[in-house]
Amino acid sequence: MKRLGHSYRQDEAADNVPAEENRRYGIQDTSRAAAYGYRPYSVVHPPEPDSKARPYTQAELASLSGMDDKGQEIAPGTKSVNGETIPKGGCRGEADRVVRAPFDHPEGVSAARTIYFKGFEKSLADPAVKEIFTAWSACMADKNYTYDSPLAAMGSAEFSRGRITGRERAVAQADISCKKKVDLIQRWNVVEAAIETRMIREKSAVLQELLKRQNAKVAAARKIVGS
């Protein structure tokens, strides 16, 4: 954008916005459970638009995206405000060709994604995890709540819409209390990690190539920004 005579205004994250909770093994934050039950923070407190943000001009958008005000691709050779030729796809297109495309490794990305999702899926069927769920469920039953697993509680339709009730907050807090009592997070993670470690070994060559290309991509990006 600088080369084409513009300044790129990167979207700024709002100040003091808490990070979203990792829910791979269900909710874990007691204070959030007490306040919001099972609802994600971002759902209870959606981000507000920045009233001070200045919209991009059409000239800036053309340089950024390579598109005109009708959403059509601009003609080859179109000049920016300072007379420089706008590259195909604008600055986003050029960045994609320079920083992403040369380092693409679809097979590696697919392998990593499969391990991430399938590892979790396989852990759910593991006898050790089923035993952990049984212990957690028994703990919940002692508190007069009936759920087969933390995921069943978190995914309950009762807690996905409408106002947050006192019951939802109570169940969510009991959920976390029982997780702690049976050491669910640590024990489940150990099982899943072992499963994924085996899967990683089976795909070690393709994952090493993915890592190599990712490192090269980072190096290329740092070179561009001068760091």
- At 14 the pLDDT is 54
- At 45 the pLDDT is 83
- At 21 the pLDDT is 81
Distances (CA, A) of 87 to 9, 61, 75, 129: 19, 13, 10, 53
- At 37 the pLDDT is 97
Task: List b or e across 129-165, with b for residues whose CB sees 16 or more CB atoms inside 10 angstroms.
Answer: beebbebbbebbeeeebebebbeebbeeeebeeeeee
Those residues of the chain that have pLDDT short of 70 are: 11-17, 51, 227
The per-residue pLDDT for range 125-165, each reduced to its tens digit, is 999 999 999 999 999 999 999 999 999 999 999 999 999 99
- At 123 the pLDDT is 98
- At 11 the pLDDT is 63
